[in-house]
Amino acid sequence: MNTVLIIAVLVLVAIAIWQMTKIFELSQVKAEMTQVATDKDNKYNGYLLFAFLIFIYLITIFCFWKYSKFLLPEASSEHGGEYDSLMLWSFVIIFIVQTITQALLHYFGYKYKGEKGKKALFFADNDRLEFIWTIIPVIVLAGLILWGLYTWTNIMDINEDDDPLIVELYAQQFNWTARYGGDDNVLGDANVRMIDIDRANVLGLDEADPNATDDIIVKELHLPVGRKVNFKMRSQDVLHSAYMPHFRAQMNCVPGMITEFSFTPSITTAEMRLKPEIVDKVNRTNAIRAERAANGEPNSDPWEFDYVLLCNKICGKSHYNMQMKIIVETEEEYNEWIASQQTFGQLMASME
């Protein structure tokens, strides 16, 4: 109720101010109106151009200072460094070009403002100038595009020459499921038409396929550090997108087809938790949650850093909650964990 009253008062004050300005305007002697800008108008516009130039530089500096913490976290995959270098150089080039061009634009707007009796001087064409301002952007953009294509080709080099771990990421509204190839590291055939909830066949695996027998279905993704992982991605219902920001990995999960992505984890979860910036973030977050808990507010349990798999396509009303925990660990820890999991064959046997 108080909010409604405050909004009503603010609206009434705004109306009163507007009416007062109209009364003041009507009480003034009207000067002759003209559509031609005067020297005074041009002078003011020049000053406003400089003021806006300063404003955009200050707001840019403020955003870098205030919101740099929302940029991508430290890369935790082998290809992440090259990806970040490409993005950094793109930002640097854009920032330098924007700074120079905006400064010249606003300066020339003031220096060459219209003045009474001053005749504008212009060149109908200048081949040398046009060549310069065309060829330089072409070279820079071509360089970035070629670098980007080279980086993309390296990232998307999905092959099985390095004995990669084969993992399927299965997307559905609004959760993720992971499937491992088991001892043979080969995923069994699957189709959404074979889904049988009564038999706990939630991914539609072909029970007649021998490769499916040792497949392992889990709700928490474990990855061994330093080993290449080839992901096969499926969607049961709508378009999803598997996004793992720390690993600089993202790929759409499209209904009716299998998409792929590959990367090699380079930092374990335990190592990331010891990073100073992560420790600082955890401490700050838990301090806030402790204050909320003291005030009886929900969602105040202590938080600990984990890698996470997110959906990066708006897929429905609970899209925000579609995520899965990722644990990167040593090869020994991973082998111990995978050995403790139930296979699809064992699950089917228990249902009979």
Go through the domains of the chain in sequence order and give each one's CATH number: 165-351 (2.60.40.420)
**What does pLDDT average to in each consecutive run of 10 residues of the chain (352 residues)?**
71 76 65 66 82 88 82 85 88 88 84 74 77 86 89 83 89 91 86 78 82 88 93 92 92 91 92 88 84 76 87 89 93 92 81 66
pLDDT value at position 350? 74
pTM attached to this predicted model: 0.74
Look at residues 205, 206, 204 and name the one whose alpha carbon lies nearest to residue 192: 204
pLDDT value at position 208? 82
pLDDT value at position 1? 56
Contact assessment for residue 300 and residue 293, using Cβ atoms and an 8 Å cutoff: yes
Cis peptide before 263 (omega within 30 of 0): no
pLDDT value at position 229? 93
Reading across the β-sheet that carries 307-311, which strands appear in turn?
221-224, 323-329, 307-311, 240-244, 249-253
d(CA 56, CA 46): 16
